[in-house]
Amino acid sequence: MPVQVDLKSSLSIGQLGQAAGLRTSAIRYYEEIGLLPAPERQGGRRVYGAETLEQLKRIALAQAAGFSLQEVKLLERGLDDEESAPQRWRRLAARKLGEVDAQIARLRKMRDLLHRALHCECTSMRACPLLVQGHAGTLASVRAPRRMPSRP
């Protein structure tokens, strides 16, 4: 359960992680990949402000919506100054929605195939109508798509 944080105080990495519900290694990783800016240091220790906690909340929201960390970087920072953050969010959300719709369609086909297989009464796999040539398109359409690098 996230901890209540006084938004006027500085947070150590442990306090930030506890407040955000993250491991400190995740916070360090986000810094390493440039998702979070390098924090201030006091006595060699990382010190964070409330803005970092808010940024972690935005990152968690974007991940819950299915965005990869690379896409979250685009959402947070963008590629240029010509597009406002809300415009960028809408554009990337529309693209992600298309990807999710395609996944849903693929999952429905998988579900239908599994239901048919569950009720199959074949005595051998060679005689199974699910595997005959007529279903080759169905089988190909339920394979997981290859991961292609995301492009903005």
Consecutive 10-residue averages of pLDDT for the chain (152 residues): 57 95 96 93 92 94 94 79 80 93 95 86 77 57 54 42
Q: Are 12 and 28 in contact (CB under 8 A)?
A: no
Where in the chain are the domains?
13-66, 85-141
Helix, strand, or coil (residue 41): strand
pTM of the model: 0.68
CATH value of 13-66 in 1.10.10.10, 1.10.1660.10, 3.10.20.30, 1.10.3720.10: 1.10.1660.10
d(CA 124, CA 147): 34
Torsion of CA 122, 125, 130, 133, to 10 degrees: -130
Predicted pLDDT of residue 75: 86
The Cα diameter of the chain in Å comes to 73
The two structure tokens encoding residue 63: 């991940």
